[in-house]
Structure 1
Amino acid sequence: MALMITDECINCDVCLPECPNDAISQGEDIYVIDPNKCTECVGHYDTPQCREVCPVDCIPVNPNYVETKEQLQAKFERLTGKK
């Protein structure tokens, strides 16, 4: 599943450099996560790094983008060219 950033985001900037897929960007009011690039760090790390550093815990699973670990791994491979 892709992650999302809720409106509880305080724009602290700590999540942005942590995303290995460059899925996080500044939105109109808060940071946003591109579900086409988010792999929940599958292929890179054991846990989503944005969640690890978020001081307000505002990065839940996006219910509109339900994906299995296998699908996230396939997305990682497609984005990086690695297996």
Structure 2
Amino acid sequence: MNPDFDDRLEQAVSLHRSGQFAQACEHYAAIRSNFEHPGLTINHARALFQLKRYDEALEVLGAMIEGAGAHFGALAASLRGR
């Protein structure tokens, strides 16, 4: 993968595991602004839930689900065209 992504993700996960959820959320959000990854999105939502920031967590998950829906919709359309 990308070394910058790996380093930043390691730092965010470390903060998350140590119970520093607010700082972990900040790191996850910053990383997600440049890199999109399902595991990262789920960890970000988890940290938001742990901070009881439910609406934000649902927004993060909702965006991931919408993106996946669009991706699979395009895939299905291309397969139908074959």
Report the structure, 1 or 2, having the larger helix content: 2
Report the structure, 1 or 2, having the larger strand content: 1
* TM bucket, shorter chain: 0.3 to 0.5
Give the TM-score normalised by structure 1. Answer: 0.32
**Which of the pair has the greater relative contact order for Cα pairs under 8 Å at 6+ separation?**
1
Give the TM-score normalised by structure 2. Answer: 0.32
Larger radius of gyration: 2
